[in-house]
Structures are given as structure tokens and as C-alpha cells.
A and B are shown apart, each in its own frame.
Chain A
């Protein structure tokens, strides 16, 4: 085990990269979730169609294939993304597709009478979404988003395959250099477990925060 601790600087480095990757692609995924999720509810069929194609494409193919495509194929088409950027984009776009379904389902789960009330008050479509539907949909979204952010953290491990030096990548370096297998892999698994557990408790906290004093029906999502 001592041999592994010599490598603590790169373990910390890898942990930070994993966190950075998770946070950055989480932001990308969140933006995409709302954009695509709301676009799927649009009145214009063209917007709905584009959003659906995006969704089916990114949900229908494997994340690792998307990542390799962005890292190895896009340069051939003249788009050069550095490894970290390709990882962020691939993880964010992939999870964003799943997140958009959460947003769509949550917004749709808000009761019909809420829409009617907004209409009766002469709200514009923007006001309807901004002040009525989305604020009520957010508490419904939180548990599903919590699950997705853990999926995202686990997905970042795949980014090690396109040479991003995250936690998994570092464990492979240690494995190759020391011929130790059990110790580095157990160590990074524990780190991943701690990181996920922090995300789980964060989600639980958000859930309590958003549902305080509200009566939300558990519906939608997944």
C-alpha cells in the first residue's frame, strides 16, 4: 500500500480532474436539458422535430462512441477539440439528452388547472413557463437529476479512454508502473464512492429545500 501512497499527488490531480469534468459537463448537461426538454414541448413542429432527433441520437448511441467520435473523427472534419473539451462536450451532450426527458416529463406533470389559471389571468406563453410551470416542475425534477448526476460522475471514468488524466486514468498509470492492481483500483473506487455519496446527500438536501412547505405529487421523471 505504501507504494501507492507515493503516487498521492497524481491521485489528487486525478480526483480534481474528475470533479472538474463532472461539474463542467454537469453545467453543459443542465443547459441542454432545459433547452431540449422545453423545445420538445414547443408549438412549432420543426423545433419539436429537431429536439427529438437530438434526443434519439444521443440517447440511442453509446456515450463512449460519442466520445471517440468527438475526439478522433471531428478533427478529420476540421473541428479540433482538446481531449478535456471533447470529454466535457460528450458527457454533457449525452447526459443532457437524458436530462431533457426529465425536464419535459416534470413540466408536463404540472396540473392542467395551473395552465388554465395562467390563461385566465392572460399570461403570455413565456410568463406561463417562467412563473407557473417551471417553478412547480423543479421540485419534481430534483430526484431524477440526482440520479443523473451520479451517472454523470461514473460516465467521466470513460473519458480516461480518450487520454483525459482523470482518476481512472491515474489508477492505470499506477497499475502499469508498480504492477500493483488491487490497491490503486480499490483506492479510486473508494474515492468515487465518496464523491457519489456527497452528490447523493446534496440531492437529498436540495429535495428537502425545494419541497419545504409544498405539497408535490411524486410523478414524472425517471
Chain B
């Protein structure tokens, strides 16, 4: 099997188009995951036991089942109930929902890792609830959240090829479509791997920088 540069030249434009879709799906999915994760984290810490219980087990259910199956669910089951989502929208919702269960744990851990003494100190200084959160808890809780949140962004980027299973033409599917119609597998698949490395290795380096910047003092 010879490496053919003509194939590389002819497949690259569609791969670049696919890469754009991949990046779009990653960004929209990540925003969804960050926002939904916060909602889940707050509901999990709710004083209402029933709300906390239901939220905990729903998010565990999502976390313990494969993203691929959830994507099938959104894409094939919802239309039976009259909800028609485009493949891209279904994919982004699936991605965001799945990873919101991960980000919610980041938020929860960030808040729980603030030492108890900080709460007590705020209380003894007669801080209101707003002031406690605004000036004591959140400034200490938020910085350690950045590194794991950045890492989940990279993870989501690498999970987007799953969207190809519900016909989204992202990077991987673009290569697959080309491969199947030209019967060339070596170059497109290798290029896809290369594209992923080209994005994810610099991204991992940035994530490492963030990690070092926001490292807890101890």
C-alpha cells in the first residue's frame, strides 16, 4: 500500500470542512456542558432531599451509559414523540448533556474543597449569604475548577467523532465518506488522526499551563 499525495490533496478540503463542524460541535457542546453542569451541581446540593436524590441518580444514569447510545436515543427516539432535531443539534445536546454530568462533579468538588473554617470565619464575621459566596467561597472555589474544565473540553473534542454515527459530517465522517466512495482508507484516516493530534496536543499544553497557573498553594 503506497502513500498517495494526490489522495491527500483531494481529501484535505472536505476534511477541513469537517474540522470546522467538529470545532463548532465541541464549542457549543462545551458551553452546554458547563451551564447544565452548574444547574446539576446546584440541584444536587439542594436542601430538598427529593430533588437532590432525583438529580443525583439521573446524572449517574447519564454518566454510566455510553454517549453513543444516548445519541441514538436523541436521534431515533425523540422523533417518535414529535421532536425532530437536526443531526447536529441532537449531537450537540447529547455531547453537552453527557459531559454536564462530569462538569457538575468539578463544580461540586470545587465548592466542597473550600475548607470548613472559611465558612465559619465568614459566619463569625457576620457575612450575609451573598457576601459569603461572593467574597469568601467562590474566589477560592473557582480557580481550581479551571484545569479540569479545560481537560473536559479536550475530551469532548475527541468524542465528537461519535456524532458521525448519527450522520453529522464532522472531521471523521468526512474522511469516512471519502474513503467509502474512493476506496482509499490509508490517507484519509491517517490525516484524521493527524488533525486530531494537531489540535489536541497544543490544547493539552495550554491545559497544562492553566493547571500550573491555578495549582492550589499547598
State the A residues within 8 Å of B (CB).
Answer: 56-57, 59-66, 68-69, 72-73, 76-78, 150, 153-158, 160-161, 168, 171-172, 175, 181-182, 185, 188-189, 192-193, 196-197, 200, 222
Contact = CB atoms under 8 A, between A and B. Distances in A.
B190 A73 contact: yes
A27 B53 CA distance: 35
Contacts of B69: 157, 168, 171, 185, 188-189, 192
A192 B63 CA distance: 10
Q: For chain B, what secondary structure do more than half of its interface residues adopt (helix, strand, loop), or is it mixed?
A: helix
A38 to B, nearest CB: 22
A161 B158 contact: no
Contacts of B84: none
Interface in B158-176: 158-162, 164-165, 172, 176
Contacts, number: 110
A162 to B, nearest CB: 12
B14 interface: no
Contacts of B176: 68
B43 interface: no
14 contacts: A57-B197, A59-B204, A62-B160, A62-B196, A64-B162, A65-B161, A65-B192, A65-B193, A76-B185, A77-B186, A150-B63, A175-B76, A192-B64, A192-B69
Contacts of A61: 158, 193, 196-197, 200
A137 B59 CA distance: 31
Nearest to B66: A157
- Report, nearest first, the 5 A-B pairs whose CB atoms are least far apart: A157-B66, A196-B64, A154-B66, A76-B1, A60-B200
Contact of B189 (A60, A72, A185): A72
A130 B201 CA distance: 33
A200 B64 contact: yes
